Amino acid sequence: MLKNIPVMEQPREKALQYGLSSLSNRELLALQLRTGYRHHSALEVADEILARADGISGLPRLSRQELIQIPGISQIKALELLAIFEIVRRSSAAKLPTLPRVQHPSVLFDWLKQEIGTSLQEKFLVVFLASDQRVLSYKILFVGTINASMVFPREIFKEALLLNSPNIILVHNHPSGNLSPSQEDISLTKRIKEAGQLMGVKVLDHIIVTQSDYFSFVQEGIE
């Protein structure tokens, strides 16, 4: 019986007997950690990780620097955990081609939230669409402080032309959680739209995402 198994081995034995779906969030993390440190079990280290992340949904936002600050987490262990988080993120992103035609920004939100909404860094992503608004591809083009001096329209339209994409949607995240567009966001959108008119590529929308919601320029009537 499980109660007769040492605490540190319980997640593994429980998974073997009842399957991974039987494990709690802390037990799943402990299974990956394998060991704790000194007099602290892997389960206790897992508790600390979940506390730092403010729950399982926040795990993808943790950086390597944050992880190694947790006692018992080495550089290598941090990389192993981040690799798992990245696999989960890519798995979510892989669902993108199955999306229906993008006729409303809400169609994209769940995917965008996973892709950049939880990031602690600002990221600027472009979704490339066919003439019937099917998703052709997407690409994160800029990372860091998103402003007019950091975003180059030529990079955006070079990708659009390579993909033969006549329509694009601009997306960036606000790590602060504040969805309101800045004046610079508005000016940047206008500049890219004007460049798109010259290139024959239409900017359908600019979406700001956080981990919990989105803001659509089109829905809010911002030109």
Q: What is the pLDDT of residue 148?
A: 58
What domains are there in the chain, each with its CATH number?
7-93 (1.10.150), 105-216 (3.40.140.10)
Extract the tokens encoding 20: 């991974």
What's the mean per-residue pLDDT of the chain?
85
Task: Give the Cα separation of 91 and 85 in Å (integer).
Answer: 10
β-pair partners for 207: 171, 216
pLDDT tens for 22-78 read: 889 999 999 989 888 888 888 999 999 999 888 887 787 788 999 999 999 999 999
Extract the tokens encoding 74: 């080495």
Q: What is the pLDDT of residue 73?
A: 93
203 three-state secondary structure: strand
Asked whether 133 and 104 are in contact (CB, 8 A), the reply is: no
Listed residue (202, 197, 142) closest to 167, CA to CA: 202
pLDDT tens for 69-125 read: 999 999 999 999 999 888 876 776 555 555 556 767 777 887 888 788 888 889 999
Extract the tokens encoding 212: 């919990």
